[in-house]
Structure 1
Protein backbone atom coordinates (compact mmCIF):
# COMPACT_ATOMS: atom_id res chain seq x y z
CA UNK A 1 0.00 0.00 0.00
CA UNK A 2 2.83 2.37 0.94
CA UNK A 3 4.70 1.55 -2.26
CA UNK A 4 1.59 2.18 -4.31
CA UNK A 5 1.08 5.57 -2.66
CA UNK A 6 4.71 6.53 -3.34
CA UNK A 7 4.31 5.56 -6.99
CA UNK A 8 1.27 7.79 -7.29
CA UNK A 9 3.12 10.73 -5.74
CA UNK A 10 6.05 10.16 -8.09
CA UNK A 11 3.69 10.15 -11.10
CA UNK A 12 2.05 13.39 -9.94
CA UNK A 13 5.44 15.02 -9.39
CA UNK A 14 6.55 13.93 -12.88
CA UNK A 15 3.47 15.55 -14.41
CA UNK A 16 4.06 18.74 -12.44
CA UNK A 17 7.68 18.86 -13.59
CA UNK A 18 6.68 18.77 -17.27
CA UNK A 19 7.38 22.10 -18.94
CA UNK A 20 4.27 24.06 -20.02
CA UNK A 21 3.45 24.33 -23.68
CA UNK A 22 5.93 26.77 -25.21
CA UNK A 23 4.71 30.33 -25.66
CA UNK A 24 6.34 30.26 -29.06
CA UNK A 25 4.24 27.25 -30.08
CA UNK A 26 1.10 28.92 -28.74
CA UNK A 27 1.91 32.13 -30.62
CA UNK A 28 2.51 30.21 -33.85
CA UNK A 29 -0.79 28.34 -33.38
CA UNK A 30 -2.57 31.65 -32.74
CA UNK A 31 -1.21 33.19 -35.94
CA UNK A 32 -2.15 30.07 -37.88
CA UNK A 33 -5.68 30.39 -36.53
CA UNK A 34 -5.83 33.99 -37.73
CA UNK A 35 -4.55 32.98 -41.17
CA UNK A 36 -7.12 30.18 -41.32
CA UNK A 37 -10.00 32.53 -40.41
CA UNK A 38 -9.01 34.97 -43.14
CA UNK A 39 -8.16 32.23 -45.62
CA UNK A 40 -11.57 30.56 -45.48
CA UNK A 41 -13.59 33.75 -44.84
CA UNK A 42 -14.71 33.76 -48.48
CA UNK A 43 -17.03 30.81 -47.75
CA UNK A 44 -19.23 32.44 -45.04
CA UNK A 45 -19.19 35.69 -47.02
CA UNK A 46 -20.59 33.86 -50.05
CA UNK A 47 -23.06 31.96 -47.90
CA UNK A 48 -24.34 35.23 -46.46
CA UNK A 49 -24.56 36.75 -49.93
CA UNK A 50 -26.74 33.81 -51.01
CA UNK A 51 -29.02 34.74 -48.11
CA UNK A 52 -29.29 38.32 -49.39
CA UNK A 53 -26.58 40.00 -47.29
CA UNK A 54 -23.99 41.77 -49.45
CA UNK A 55 -20.35 41.42 -48.28
CA UNK A 56 -20.18 45.15 -47.55
CA UNK A 57 -23.07 44.86 -45.09
CA UNK A 58 -21.46 41.75 -43.61
CA UNK A 59 -18.16 43.61 -43.15
CA UNK A 60 -19.90 46.56 -41.51
CA UNK A 61 -21.74 44.25 -39.09
CA UNK A 62 -18.59 42.26 -38.25
CA UNK A 63 -16.56 45.33 -37.37
CA UNK A 64 -19.42 47.02 -35.54
CA UNK A 65 -19.64 43.93 -33.34
CA UNK A 66 -15.87 43.95 -32.79
CA UNK A 67 -15.96 47.69 -32.08
CA UNK A 68 -18.60 47.24 -29.38
CA UNK A 69 -16.55 44.47 -27.76
CA UNK A 70 -13.40 46.58 -27.86
CA UNK A 71 -15.22 49.60 -26.41
CA UNK A 72 -16.37 47.47 -23.47
CA UNK A 73 -12.93 45.99 -22.80
CA UNK A 74 -10.81 49.08 -23.56
CA UNK A 75 -12.97 52.18 -22.97
CA UNK A 76 -9.84 54.37 -22.81
CA UNK A 77 -9.10 53.61 -26.46
CA UNK A 78 -11.43 56.42 -27.54
CA UNK A 79 -9.43 59.03 -25.61
CA UNK A 80 -6.22 57.96 -27.30
CA UNK A 81 -7.92 57.94 -30.69
CA UNK A 82 -9.23 61.49 -30.22
CA UNK A 83 -5.82 62.74 -29.04
CA UNK A 84 -4.09 61.45 -32.17
CA UNK A 85 -5.91 62.71 -35.30
CA UNK A 86 -3.28 61.02 -37.49
CA UNK A 87 -5.01 57.72 -36.65
CA UNK A 88 -7.70 58.73 -39.15
CA UNK A 89 -5.27 57.75 -41.92
CA UNK A 90 -5.00 54.29 -40.36
CA UNK A 91 -8.80 54.18 -40.15
CA UNK A 92 -9.11 54.86 -43.87
CA UNK A 93 -6.39 52.41 -44.93
CA UNK A 94 -7.68 49.55 -42.76
CA UNK A 95 -11.28 50.22 -43.74
CA UNK A 96 -10.55 50.17 -47.47
CA UNK A 97 -8.51 46.98 -47.03
CA UNK A 98 -11.55 45.19 -45.65
CA UNK A 99 -13.95 46.70 -48.18
CA UNK A 100 -11.78 45.57 -51.08
CA UNK A 101 -10.74 42.11 -49.88
CA UNK A 102 -14.08 40.94 -48.48
CA UNK A 103 -15.97 42.10 -51.55
CA UNK A 104 -13.40 40.66 -53.95
CA UNK A 105 -13.31 37.13 -52.47
CA UNK A 106 -17.10 37.05 -52.62
CA UNK A 107 -17.47 37.91 -56.30
CA UNK A 108 -14.18 36.75 -57.87
CA UNK A 109 -11.97 33.72 -58.29
CA UNK A 110 -10.61 33.30 -54.75
CA UNK A 111 -7.13 32.09 -55.79
CA UNK A 112 -6.65 34.99 -58.18
CA UNK A 113 -7.95 37.52 -55.63
CA UNK A 114 -5.65 36.30 -52.86
CA UNK A 115 -2.60 36.34 -55.13
CA UNK A 116 -3.31 39.88 -56.32
CA UNK A 117 -3.87 40.92 -52.70
CA UNK A 118 -0.44 39.57 -51.77
CA UNK A 119 1.23 41.93 -54.20
CA UNK A 120 1.94 43.77 -50.94
CA UNK A 121 5.78 43.61 -51.19
CA UNK A 122 5.63 45.75 -54.32
CA UNK A 123 3.41 48.34 -52.64
CA UNK A 124 5.61 48.39 -49.53
CA UNK A 125 8.70 49.23 -51.62
CA UNK A 126 6.84 52.09 -53.30
CA UNK A 127 5.26 53.45 -50.11
CA UNK A 128 8.09 53.05 -47.59
CA UNK A 129 10.30 55.66 -49.28
CA UNK A 130 7.92 58.66 -49.10
CA UNK A 131 6.26 57.65 -45.81
CA UNK A 132 9.13 56.14 -43.80
CA UNK A 133 12.16 57.55 -45.57
CA UNK A 134 13.40 54.05 -46.44
CA UNK A 135 15.11 54.19 -49.83
CA UNK A 136 14.72 51.04 -51.95
CA UNK A 137 17.67 48.68 -51.62
CA UNK A 138 18.87 46.25 -54.25
CA UNK A 139 17.02 43.45 -52.50
CA UNK A 140 13.76 45.40 -52.29
CA UNK A 141 13.97 46.26 -56.00
CA UNK A 142 14.47 42.56 -56.80
CA UNK A 143 11.37 41.73 -54.73
CA UNK A 144 9.46 44.48 -56.53
CA UNK A 145 10.45 43.05 -59.93
CA UNK A 146 9.46 39.51 -58.89
CA UNK A 147 6.08 40.64 -57.58
CA UNK A 148 5.32 42.71 -60.67
CA UNK A 149 6.37 39.86 -62.97
CA UNK A 150 4.05 37.56 -61.06
CA UNK A 151 1.08 39.87 -61.29
CA UNK A 152 1.67 40.37 -65.03
CA UNK A 153 1.55 36.59 -65.53
CA UNK A 154 -1.60 36.27 -63.41
CA UNK A 155 -3.40 39.10 -65.21
CA UNK A 156 -2.31 38.29 -68.78
CA UNK A 157 -4.91 35.93 -70.16
CA UNK A 158 -5.15 34.63 -73.75
CA UNK A 159 -8.26 36.77 -74.19
CA UNK A 160 -6.64 40.04 -73.07
CA UNK A 161 -3.90 41.75 -75.13
CA UNK A 162 -2.49 43.52 -72.07
CA UNK A 163 -2.00 42.36 -68.45
CA UNK A 164 -4.62 44.63 -66.93
CA UNK A 165 -7.36 43.92 -64.35
CA UNK A 166 -10.31 42.46 -66.19
CA UNK A 167 -13.01 42.41 -63.50
CA UNK A 168 -14.32 44.23 -60.45
CA UNK A 169 -12.73 41.53 -58.27
CA UNK A 170 -9.28 42.22 -59.77
CA UNK A 171 -9.52 45.95 -59.06
CA UNK A 172 -10.83 45.36 -55.55
CA UNK A 173 -8.03 42.87 -54.78
CA UNK A 174 -5.32 45.25 -56.01
CA UNK A 175 -6.84 48.13 -54.03
CA UNK A 176 -7.07 45.96 -50.91
CA UNK A 177 -3.44 44.86 -51.23
CA UNK A 178 -2.29 48.46 -51.66
CA UNK A 179 -4.29 49.57 -48.63
CA UNK A 180 -3.06 46.60 -46.61
CA UNK A 181 0.55 47.61 -47.33
CA UNK A 182 -0.34 51.19 -46.37
CA UNK A 183 -1.93 49.91 -43.15
CA UNK A 184 1.25 48.08 -42.19
CA UNK A 185 3.42 51.11 -42.92
CA UNK A 186 1.09 53.39 -40.93
CA UNK A 187 1.21 50.98 -38.00
CA UNK A 188 5.01 51.43 -37.97
CA UNK A 189 4.80 55.19 -38.47
CA UNK A 190 2.21 55.57 -35.69
CA UNK A 191 3.82 53.22 -33.18
CA UNK A 192 3.98 56.12 -30.68
CA UNK A 193 0.20 56.03 -30.32
CA UNK A 194 -1.57 53.72 -27.83
CA UNK A 195 -1.98 50.19 -29.17
CA UNK A 196 -5.65 49.97 -28.19
CA UNK A 197 -6.31 53.25 -30.04
CA UNK A 198 -4.70 51.89 -33.20
CA UNK A 199 -6.87 48.79 -32.93
CA UNK A 200 -9.92 51.00 -32.40
CA UNK A 201 -9.08 52.98 -35.54
CA UNK A 202 -8.92 49.77 -37.56
CA UNK A 203 -12.26 48.52 -36.22
CA UNK A 204 -13.92 51.90 -36.82
CA UNK A 205 -12.49 51.90 -40.33
CA UNK A 206 -13.94 48.46 -41.07
CA UNK A 207 -17.37 49.42 -39.78
CA UNK A 208 -17.53 52.98 -41.12
CA UNK A 209 -16.00 52.49 -44.58
CA UNK A 210 -17.91 49.28 -45.31
CA UNK A 211 -21.18 50.83 -44.13
CA UNK A 212 -20.61 53.98 -46.18
CA UNK A 213 -19.66 51.97 -49.27
CA UNK A 214 -22.75 49.82 -48.84
CA UNK A 215 -25.05 52.84 -48.60
CA UNK A 216 -23.39 54.42 -51.64
CA UNK A 217 -23.59 51.12 -53.51
CA UNK A 218 -27.31 50.84 -52.82
CA UNK A 219 -27.79 54.33 -54.21
CA UNK A 220 -25.84 53.36 -57.35
CA UNK A 221 -27.76 50.08 -57.62
CA UNK A 222 -24.62 47.92 -57.34
CA UNK A 223 -25.28 46.71 -53.78
CA UNK A 224 -28.44 45.06 -52.53
CA UNK A 225 -30.19 46.82 -49.63
CA UNK A 226 -29.77 45.50 -46.11
CA UNK A 227 -32.37 42.71 -45.79
CA UNK A 228 -34.84 42.41 -42.95
CA UNK A 229 -33.42 40.45 -40.00
CA UNK A 230 -33.85 36.70 -40.37
CA UNK A 231 -32.52 33.97 -38.14
CA UNK A 232 -30.52 32.37 -40.97
CA UNK A 233 -28.32 35.34 -41.89
CA UNK A 234 -28.24 36.87 -38.40
CA UNK A 235 -26.85 33.60 -36.99
CA UNK A 236 -24.27 33.40 -39.79
CA UNK A 237 -23.25 37.04 -39.25
CA UNK A 238 -22.85 36.48 -35.51
CA UNK A 239 -20.71 33.38 -36.05
CA UNK A 240 -18.38 35.07 -38.52
CA UNK A 241 -18.15 38.11 -36.22
CA UNK A 242 -17.03 35.85 -33.38
CA UNK A 243 -14.56 34.12 -35.70
CA UNK A 244 -13.04 37.42 -36.82
CA UNK A 245 -12.85 38.65 -33.24
CA UNK A 246 -11.09 35.44 -32.19
CA UNK A 247 -8.76 35.76 -35.17
CA UNK A 248 -7.89 39.35 -34.27
CA UNK A 249 -7.17 38.42 -30.65
CA UNK A 250 -5.04 35.53 -31.88
CA UNK A 251 -3.11 37.91 -34.14
CA UNK A 252 -2.49 40.32 -31.26
CA UNK A 253 -1.17 37.49 -29.07
CA UNK A 254 0.91 35.84 -31.77
CA UNK A 255 2.50 39.04 -33.05
CA UNK A 256 3.42 40.04 -29.48
CA UNK A 257 5.34 36.81 -28.86
CA UNK A 258 7.07 36.24 -32.22
CA UNK A 259 9.41 38.26 -34.38
CA UNK A 260 8.06 40.27 -37.29
CA UNK A 261 9.69 37.86 -39.75
CA UNK A 262 8.16 34.78 -38.12
CA UNK A 263 4.76 36.47 -37.93
CA UNK A 264 4.82 37.40 -41.61
CA UNK A 265 5.98 33.94 -42.63
CA UNK A 266 3.17 32.19 -40.74
CA UNK A 267 0.59 34.64 -42.09
CA UNK A 268 1.52 33.58 -45.63
CA UNK A 269 -0.29 30.32 -44.84
CA UNK A 270 -3.47 32.30 -45.52
CA UNK A 271 -2.73 31.83 -49.22
CA UNK A 272 -2.64 28.05 -48.73
CA UNK A 273 -5.88 28.00 -46.73
CA UNK A 274 -7.66 30.24 -49.23
CA UNK A 275 -6.39 28.50 -52.35
CA UNK A 276 -6.89 24.97 -51.05
CA UNK A 277 -10.40 25.55 -49.72
CA UNK A 278 -11.57 27.48 -52.77
CA UNK A 279 -10.26 24.89 -55.23
CA UNK A 280 -11.83 22.04 -53.25
CA UNK A 281 -15.19 23.84 -53.11
CA UNK A 282 -15.12 25.09 -56.69
CA UNK A 283 -14.62 28.81 -55.98
CA UNK A 284 -11.13 29.03 -57.46
CA UNK A 285 -8.98 27.53 -60.19
CA UNK A 286 -5.28 26.70 -60.42
CA UNK A 287 -4.19 27.17 -64.02
CA UNK A 288 -0.54 26.93 -65.02
CA UNK A 289 -0.46 30.71 -65.49
CA UNK A 290 -1.86 31.29 -62.01
CA UNK A 291 0.59 28.85 -60.46
CA UNK A 292 3.63 30.44 -62.12
CA UNK A 293 2.55 34.01 -61.40
CA UNK A 294 1.50 33.10 -57.88
CA UNK A 295 4.85 31.43 -57.23
CA UNK A 296 6.68 34.66 -58.16
CA UNK A 297 4.39 36.78 -55.97
CA UNK A 298 4.82 34.42 -53.02
CA UNK A 299 8.58 34.29 -53.58
CA UNK A 300 8.66 38.09 -53.37
CA UNK A 301 6.65 37.91 -50.14
CA UNK A 302 8.94 35.24 -48.72
CA UNK A 303 12.06 37.26 -49.56
CA UNK A 304 10.40 40.27 -47.94
CA UNK A 305 9.90 38.21 -44.78
CA UNK A 306 13.51 37.02 -44.78
CA UNK A 307 14.73 40.59 -45.18
CA UNK A 308 13.53 41.29 -41.63
CA UNK A 309 16.27 38.99 -40.36
CA UNK A 310 19.05 40.09 -42.66
CA UNK A 311 18.62 43.45 -44.36
CA UNK A 312 19.55 43.37 -48.02
Structure 2
Protein backbone atom coordinates (compact mmCIF):
# COMPACT_ATOMS: atom_id res chain seq x y z
CA UNK A 1 0.00 0.00 0.00
CA UNK A 2 2.87 2.38 0.79
CA UNK A 3 4.38 1.94 -2.66
CA UNK A 4 1.05 2.59 -4.37
CA UNK A 5 0.50 5.66 -2.20
CA UNK A 6 3.92 6.96 -3.26
CA UNK A 7 3.00 6.57 -6.93
CA UNK A 8 -0.33 8.32 -6.37
CA UNK A 9 1.55 11.22 -4.76
CA UNK A 10 3.75 11.42 -7.85
CA UNK A 11 0.72 11.40 -10.14
CA UNK A 12 -1.02 14.01 -7.99
CA UNK A 13 1.92 16.43 -8.16
CA UNK A 14 2.14 16.13 -11.93
CA UNK A 15 -1.63 16.17 -12.37
CA UNK A 16 -2.03 19.55 -10.65
CA UNK A 17 1.34 21.04 -11.72
CA UNK A 18 -0.45 23.03 -14.43
CA UNK A 19 -1.89 25.37 -11.76
CA UNK A 20 1.36 26.61 -10.13
CA UNK A 21 2.97 26.82 -13.59
CA UNK A 22 0.14 29.11 -14.70
CA UNK A 23 0.43 31.12 -11.51
CA UNK A 24 4.15 31.61 -12.13
CA UNK A 25 3.32 32.65 -15.70
CA UNK A 26 0.91 35.23 -14.32
CA UNK A 27 3.65 36.52 -12.02
CA UNK A 28 5.90 37.09 -15.05
CA UNK A 29 7.83 33.81 -15.41
CA UNK A 30 7.42 31.95 -18.70
CA UNK A 31 6.96 28.16 -18.25
CA UNK A 32 10.35 27.56 -19.88
CA UNK A 33 12.06 29.71 -17.25
CA UNK A 34 9.98 28.03 -14.53
CA UNK A 35 11.13 24.63 -15.77
CA UNK A 36 14.76 25.77 -15.90
CA UNK A 37 14.54 27.13 -12.35
CA UNK A 38 12.84 24.02 -10.95
CA UNK A 39 15.32 21.59 -12.49
CA UNK A 40 18.35 23.70 -11.66
CA UNK A 41 17.24 23.54 -8.03
CA UNK A 42 16.76 19.76 -8.29
CA UNK A 43 20.15 19.38 -9.96
CA UNK A 44 21.81 21.20 -7.07
CA UNK A 45 20.09 18.85 -4.63
CA UNK A 46 21.28 15.78 -6.57
CA UNK A 47 24.88 17.03 -6.64
CA UNK A 48 24.72 17.83 -2.94
CA UNK A 49 23.63 14.29 -2.07
CA UNK A 50 25.70 12.50 -4.76
CA UNK A 51 28.66 14.72 -5.63
CA UNK A 52 30.29 11.78 -7.45
CA UNK A 53 27.46 11.66 -9.99
CA UNK A 54 29.48 13.81 -12.39
CA UNK A 55 32.11 11.10 -12.72
CA UNK A 56 29.63 8.54 -13.99
CA UNK A 57 28.07 11.08 -16.31
CA UNK A 58 31.43 12.02 -17.86
CA UNK A 59 32.39 8.34 -18.12
CA UNK A 60 29.26 7.65 -20.20
CA UNK A 61 28.92 10.42 -22.83
CA UNK A 62 25.82 8.68 -24.26
CA UNK A 63 23.93 9.99 -21.22
CA UNK A 64 23.77 13.31 -23.07
CA UNK A 65 21.06 11.68 -25.20
CA UNK A 66 19.10 10.92 -22.04
CA UNK A 67 19.57 14.51 -20.88
CA UNK A 68 18.20 15.90 -24.15
CA UNK A 69 15.24 13.52 -24.31
CA UNK A 70 14.29 14.13 -20.69
CA UNK A 71 14.73 17.87 -21.11
CA UNK A 72 12.45 17.96 -24.16
CA UNK A 73 9.86 15.95 -22.23
CA UNK A 74 9.59 18.64 -19.59
CA UNK A 75 9.81 21.50 -22.08
CA UNK A 76 6.90 20.06 -24.02
CA UNK A 77 4.67 19.10 -21.10
CA UNK A 78 5.20 22.12 -18.83
CA UNK A 79 4.83 24.63 -21.66
CA UNK A 80 1.76 22.89 -23.06
CA UNK A 81 -0.20 22.67 -19.78
CA UNK A 82 0.50 26.35 -19.15
CA UNK A 83 -0.96 27.59 -22.44
CA UNK A 84 -3.38 24.85 -23.56
CA UNK A 85 -6.48 22.94 -22.51
CA UNK A 86 -5.12 20.79 -19.68
CA UNK A 87 -7.15 17.63 -20.37
CA UNK A 88 -6.36 17.73 -24.08
CA UNK A 89 -2.66 18.22 -23.35
CA UNK A 90 -2.49 15.34 -20.86
CA UNK A 91 -4.33 12.98 -23.20
CA UNK A 92 -2.04 13.77 -26.13
CA UNK A 93 0.99 13.43 -23.86
CA UNK A 94 -0.16 9.96 -22.80
CA UNK A 95 0.32 8.66 -26.30
CA UNK A 96 3.68 7.71 -24.81
CA UNK A 97 2.93 3.94 -24.75
CA UNK A 98 2.09 4.08 -28.46
CA UNK A 99 5.31 5.90 -29.33
CA UNK A 100 7.21 3.38 -27.19
CA UNK A 101 6.30 0.57 -29.60
CA UNK A 102 8.02 2.34 -32.50
CA UNK A 103 10.98 3.66 -30.50
CA UNK A 104 11.72 0.30 -28.85
CA UNK A 105 11.70 -1.28 -32.30
CA UNK A 106 14.14 1.27 -33.73
CA UNK A 107 16.38 1.76 -30.70
CA UNK A 108 16.29 -1.54 -28.81
CA UNK A 109 15.51 -3.98 -31.62
CA UNK A 110 12.28 -5.10 -29.94
CA UNK A 111 10.01 -6.18 -32.79
CA UNK A 112 6.37 -5.23 -32.17
CA UNK A 113 3.91 -8.00 -31.45
CA UNK A 114 0.36 -8.19 -32.76
CA UNK A 115 -0.84 -6.95 -29.40
CA UNK A 116 1.47 -3.94 -29.39
CA UNK A 117 0.48 -3.03 -32.95
CA UNK A 118 -3.19 -3.28 -31.95
CA UNK A 119 -2.57 -0.95 -29.01
CA UNK A 120 -0.71 1.42 -31.33
CA UNK A 121 -3.68 1.52 -33.71
CA UNK A 122 -6.08 1.98 -30.79
CA UNK A 123 -4.11 4.93 -29.41
CA UNK A 124 -3.70 6.52 -32.85
CA UNK A 125 -7.45 6.22 -33.46
CA UNK A 126 -7.98 8.00 -30.15
CA UNK A 127 -5.64 10.86 -31.01
CA UNK A 128 -7.23 11.31 -34.43
CA UNK A 129 -10.63 11.67 -32.73
CA UNK A 130 -9.23 14.17 -30.20
CA UNK A 131 -7.51 16.23 -32.91
CA UNK A 132 -10.44 16.32 -35.34
CA UNK A 133 -12.03 19.69 -34.65
CA UNK A 134 -15.36 20.57 -36.34
CA UNK A 135 -13.79 23.56 -38.10
CA UNK A 136 -10.88 21.52 -39.48
CA UNK A 137 -11.22 19.05 -42.41
CA UNK A 138 -8.24 17.01 -41.15
CA UNK A 139 -7.32 15.60 -37.70
CA UNK A 140 -4.16 17.68 -37.25
CA UNK A 141 -2.78 19.60 -34.24
CA UNK A 142 -4.76 22.82 -33.81
CA UNK A 143 -2.41 24.81 -31.59
CA UNK A 144 1.09 25.16 -30.22
CA UNK A 145 -0.09 23.29 -27.10
CA UNK A 146 -1.09 20.30 -29.27
CA UNK A 147 2.34 20.18 -30.90
CA UNK A 148 4.14 20.60 -27.58
CA UNK A 149 2.18 17.83 -25.87
CA UNK A 150 2.77 15.42 -28.76
CA UNK A 151 6.48 16.28 -28.72
CA UNK A 152 6.59 15.83 -24.95
CA UNK A 153 4.97 12.40 -25.12
CA UNK A 154 7.33 11.28 -27.87
CA UNK A 155 10.31 12.52 -25.85
CA UNK A 156 8.97 10.72 -22.77
CA UNK A 157 8.83 7.45 -24.70
CA UNK A 158 12.39 8.04 -25.91
CA UNK A 159 13.47 8.78 -22.32
CA UNK A 160 12.05 5.45 -21.15
CA UNK A 161 13.83 3.57 -23.95
CA UNK A 162 17.14 5.29 -23.19
CA UNK A 163 16.82 4.49 -19.50
CA UNK A 164 16.53 0.83 -20.40
CA UNK A 165 19.39 1.08 -22.87
CA UNK A 166 21.65 2.79 -20.32
CA UNK A 167 20.60 0.76 -17.28
CA UNK A 168 24.24 -0.28 -16.76
CA UNK A 169 25.21 3.30 -15.88
CA UNK A 170 25.16 4.59 -12.26
CA UNK A 171 21.62 5.55 -11.18
CA UNK A 172 22.77 8.87 -9.71
CA UNK A 173 24.41 9.75 -13.03
CA UNK A 174 21.18 9.04 -14.89
CA UNK A 175 19.34 11.24 -12.41
CA UNK A 176 21.90 14.00 -12.94
CA UNK A 177 21.43 13.69 -16.71
CA UNK A 178 17.66 13.98 -16.41
CA UNK A 179 17.55 16.93 -14.02
CA UNK A 180 20.42 18.61 -15.83
CA UNK A 181 18.70 18.01 -19.14
CA UNK A 182 15.53 19.64 -17.84
CA UNK A 183 17.43 22.75 -16.78
CA UNK A 184 19.60 22.88 -19.91
CA UNK A 185 16.94 22.29 -22.55
CA UNK A 186 14.44 24.65 -20.91
CA UNK A 187 16.92 27.49 -20.48
CA UNK A 188 18.40 26.93 -23.94
CA UNK A 189 14.97 27.00 -25.59
CA UNK A 190 14.04 30.10 -23.58
CA UNK A 191 17.23 31.91 -24.63
CA UNK A 192 16.55 31.00 -28.26
CA UNK A 193 13.02 32.37 -27.91
CA UNK A 194 14.36 35.57 -26.34
CA UNK A 195 16.71 36.06 -29.27
CA UNK A 196 13.73 35.75 -31.63
CA UNK A 197 11.62 38.06 -29.41
CA UNK A 198 8.98 35.35 -28.85
CA UNK A 199 9.74 34.64 -25.16
CA UNK A 200 10.15 37.44 -22.60
CA UNK A 201 13.15 37.75 -20.32
CA UNK A 202 12.71 36.08 -16.92
CA UNK A 203 11.04 38.28 -14.33
CA UNK A 204 9.30 37.08 -11.21
CA UNK A 205 7.40 39.16 -8.70
CA UNK A 206 8.33 38.58 -5.07
CA UNK A 207 5.08 36.72 -4.34
CA UNK A 208 5.95 34.23 -7.09
CA UNK A 209 9.15 33.03 -5.45
CA UNK A 210 7.23 31.14 -2.76
CA UNK A 211 5.29 29.28 -5.49
CA UNK A 212 8.53 28.53 -7.38
CA UNK A 213 10.18 27.10 -4.26
CA UNK A 214 7.12 25.05 -3.31
CA UNK A 215 6.82 23.63 -6.84
CA UNK A 216 10.53 22.76 -6.92
CA UNK A 217 10.24 20.88 -3.62
CA UNK A 218 7.05 19.16 -4.80
CA UNK A 219 8.70 17.94 -8.02
CA UNK A 220 11.72 16.69 -6.09
CA UNK A 221 9.49 14.87 -3.59
CA UNK A 222 7.39 13.38 -6.39
CA UNK A 223 10.50 12.03 -8.07
CA UNK A 224 11.61 10.40 -4.82
CA UNK A 225 8.11 8.94 -4.43
CA UNK A 226 8.28 7.49 -7.95
CA UNK A 227 11.71 5.99 -7.26
CA UNK A 228 10.36 4.39 -4.07
CA UNK A 229 7.13 3.08 -5.58
CA UNK A 230 8.51 1.86 -8.91
CA UNK A 231 11.24 -0.11 -7.16
CA UNK A 232 8.66 -2.08 -5.16
CA UNK A 233 5.91 -2.76 -7.69
CA UNK A 234 5.65 -4.53 -11.01
CA UNK A 235 6.17 -2.18 -13.93
CA UNK A 236 2.66 -2.82 -15.23
CA UNK A 237 1.16 -1.88 -11.86
CA UNK A 238 3.27 1.27 -11.75
CA UNK A 239 2.15 2.30 -15.22
CA UNK A 240 -1.53 1.83 -14.37
CA UNK A 241 -1.29 3.78 -11.10
CA UNK A 242 0.54 6.61 -12.88
CA UNK A 243 -2.49 6.99 -15.17
CA UNK A 244 -4.27 8.55 -12.20
CA UNK A 245 -2.41 11.69 -13.26
CA UNK A 246 -5.05 12.04 -15.98
CA UNK A 247 -7.79 11.97 -13.32
CA UNK A 248 -6.07 14.56 -11.13
CA UNK A 249 -5.43 16.81 -14.13
CA UNK A 250 -8.98 16.39 -15.46
CA UNK A 251 -10.80 17.06 -12.20
CA UNK A 252 -8.61 19.98 -11.11
CA UNK A 253 -8.57 21.72 -14.49
CA UNK A 254 -12.30 21.28 -15.05
CA UNK A 255 -13.09 22.60 -11.57
CA UNK A 256 -10.91 25.66 -12.15
CA UNK A 257 -12.03 26.29 -15.72
CA UNK A 258 -8.78 25.32 -17.44
CA UNK A 259 -10.27 22.51 -19.53
CA UNK A 260 -13.43 21.58 -21.36
CA UNK A 261 -14.99 18.17 -21.89
CA UNK A 262 -16.87 17.28 -25.03
CA UNK A 263 -17.96 14.00 -26.61
CA UNK A 264 -14.99 13.96 -29.00
CA UNK A 265 -12.45 14.40 -26.21
CA UNK A 266 -14.13 11.78 -24.03
CA UNK A 267 -14.26 9.20 -26.83
CA UNK A 268 -10.74 9.78 -28.12
CA UNK A 269 -9.34 10.06 -24.62
CA UNK A 270 -10.96 6.78 -23.63
CA UNK A 271 -9.22 5.00 -26.50
CA UNK A 272 -5.84 6.55 -25.57
CA UNK A 273 -6.23 5.56 -21.90
CA UNK A 274 -7.40 2.07 -22.88
CA UNK A 275 -4.30 1.62 -25.04
CA UNK A 276 -2.11 2.75 -22.12
CA UNK A 277 -3.82 0.34 -19.70
CA UNK A 278 -3.48 -2.57 -22.15
CA UNK A 279 0.20 -1.72 -22.60
CA UNK A 280 0.71 -1.78 -18.83
CA UNK A 281 -1.05 -5.15 -18.55
CA UNK A 282 0.73 -6.74 -21.53
CA UNK A 283 2.84 -9.87 -20.91
CA UNK A 284 6.44 -8.86 -20.26
CA UNK A 285 5.58 -5.35 -19.10
CA UNK A 286 6.74 -6.18 -15.59
CA UNK A 287 10.24 -6.84 -16.89
CA UNK A 288 10.71 -3.34 -18.27
CA UNK A 289 12.50 -0.65 -16.34
CA UNK A 290 10.66 2.41 -15.07
CA UNK A 291 11.48 6.02 -15.83
CA UNK A 292 13.20 7.91 -13.03
CA UNK A 293 11.06 11.01 -13.54
CA UNK A 294 8.15 12.34 -15.50
2:28–2:205: 8 Å Cα contact kept in structure 1?
no
1:107-143 deviations in Å (ceiling 9; x for gaps): 0000000000001122111111111111010000000
Secondary structure at the counterpart of residue 203 of structure 1 = helix
Measured against aligned partners, the alpha-carbon deviations of 1:239-271 in whole angstroms (never above 9, x if no partner) come to 100000110111111111111111111101001
Report 1:1-312 matches (<5 A): 25-227=1-203, 230-308=205-283
- How far is the alpha carbon of 1:100 from its aligned partner? 0.5
Q: CA RMSD in A?
A: 1.1
What is the aligned length? Answer: 286
| Offset of residue 233 of structure 1 | 1.3
2:231 is paired with a residue whose SS is helix
**Structure 1 CA distance, aligned partners of 2:285 and 2:58?**
38
- 300-309 or 167-176, which moves further after superposition? 300-309
User: How far is 1:76 from its partner?
Assistant: 1.1
Match of 1:19 in 2: none
Cα deviation for residue 221 of structure 1 reads 1.8
CA distance in 1, matches of 2:94, 2:81: 13
Question: How big is each residue's C-alpha offset from its partner over 1:51-87, in whole Å with a ceiling of 9 and x where there is no partner?
Answer: 1110000000000000000000011111000000110
Q: Secondary structure at the match of 1:283?
A: coil
Runs of 4+ in 1 over 4 A off after TM superposition: 308-311
TM-score, length-scaled by structure 1 = 0.90
Take 2:29 and 2:179, find their aligned partners in 1: how far apart are those partners? Answer: 20
Q: Does structure 2 conserve the Cα–Cα contact (< 8 Å) formed by 1:261 and 1:308?
A: no
Flag structure 1 segments of 5+ consecutive residues without an equivalent.
Answer: 1-24
TM-score relative to the length of structure 2: 0.96
- Aligned equivalents of 1:163, 1:208: Cα separation in 2: 33
Is there any run of 5+ residues in structure 2 with no aligned partner, and where? Answer: 287-294
The offset of 1:230, in angstroms, is 3.5
Secondary structure at 1:257 match in 2: coil
CA contact (8 A) 2:235 2:285 kept: no
CA distance in 2 between counterparts of 1:28 and 1:255 reads 9
Computing the radius of gyration from Cα coordinates, the structure with the larger value is: 1
